[in-house]
Amino acid sequence: MSYGYPGPGDEQQPPPPPQPGQQWQQPGQEWQQPGPGWQQPPPPHGWQQPGPGWGGPQPPQPPRKSKTGLIVGLTIAGAVIVLVALGVIGVMAVSDNSSKDGGSVARSTASEQSTAEEGDAKESPAEESSAEEPAEESGAEGDVKITGCEVDSLTTWASAEVLITNRTSKKADYIVNVEFVNSSGKRLGEALAAVNSLAPGRKSEETAQGLDTIKGKIECRVTKVTRFLS
């Protein structure tokens, strides 16, 4: 007897789980087979049907793409840009140096030409002076020429006509010494001719008059010319 308590053989077993299409009831209630018109109740609002594979093993994730190739490409591009920039800077530096060297050569050439022109300019006055003053080369004697030589028949005094030309660039005073000699070169007498303040390029005819008595033919020679530039 169980005396109101369930014995070991009287314990109730839990009902089996409902099969699809059957309605499950609480223990103590009688389970009934759903009728032909029974339909599965709709899911609660907001509930979504789980997708395929829900609750099961997840599919493998695709492998992540490696960024090594991108980093290498960016590094190479940066190196190329740096090399191009260095090349441009080098070309500009060479061009700048070439322009400076060309400017230096041009200035050196211009300086040499200027020096040569200055040298020519310095030499030109000397050449002009030589052209204007050929007497400087031959001395003041070159400014004097004898144009006449005779003995006066009445006074038997010898005289010489001299032509004085001032070929300098300044006024000048001249004193001309003349001697009279015979055909053998013997000195028979002397005379002086002078002119004052003869302008540059001007000419003057003067007479060197002797006071010695001379007979026969004579020859007149210029022995000395003294010139004073004023």
pLDDT tens readout for residues 8-28: 555 555 566 555 555 555 555
Q: What sign does the dihedral 68-69-70-74 (CA atoms) show?
A: positive
Which candidate, 225, 165, 148, 157, places its Cα nearest to that of 190? 157
Q: What is the pLDDT of residue 192?
A: 96
Q: What is the pLDDT of residue 77?
A: 80
Q: How confident is the model at residue 112 (pLDDT cuts 50, 70, 90)?
A: low
Average pLDDT over residues 67-74: 74
> Residue 169 pLDDT > 90, yes or no?
yes
Q: What is the pLDDT of residue 129?
A: 45
Domain 139-229 has CATH 2.60.40.3230: yes
Query: Looking at this protein, which amino acid is placed at residue 186?
Result: K
If one compares 229 and 98, the residue with the highest pLDDT of the two is 229
Q: What is the pLDDT of residue 213?
A: 92
Q: What is the pLDDT of residue 73?
A: 77
Output the pTM of the full model: 0.41
> Residue 4 pLDDT > 90, yes or no?
no
Query: DSSP label at 47?
Result: -
Query: Looking at this protein, which amino acid is placed at residue 84?
Result: V
String of DSSP letters for 180-194: EE-TT--EEEEEEEE
Taking residue 176's Cβ as centre, other Cβ atoms within 10 Å add up to: 25
- Residue 16 half-sphere exposure toward CB, CA atoms < 13 A: 5
Residue 30 parent element (H or E):
none
Average pLDDT over residues 181-191: 94
Q: Do 177 and 159 form a contact (C-beta atoms < 8 A)? A: no
Q: What is the pLDDT of residue 22?
A: 54
> Residue 69 pLDDT > 80, yes or no?
no
CA distance 154 to 218: 16
Q: What is the pLDDT of residue 76?
A: 85
String of DSSP letters for 101-124: HHHHHHHHHHHHHHHHHHHHHHHH
CA distance 48 to 220: 156
Q: What is the pLDDT of residue 93?
A: 73
> Residue 96 pLDDT > 70, yes or no?
no
Q: What is the pLDDT of residue 107?
A: 62
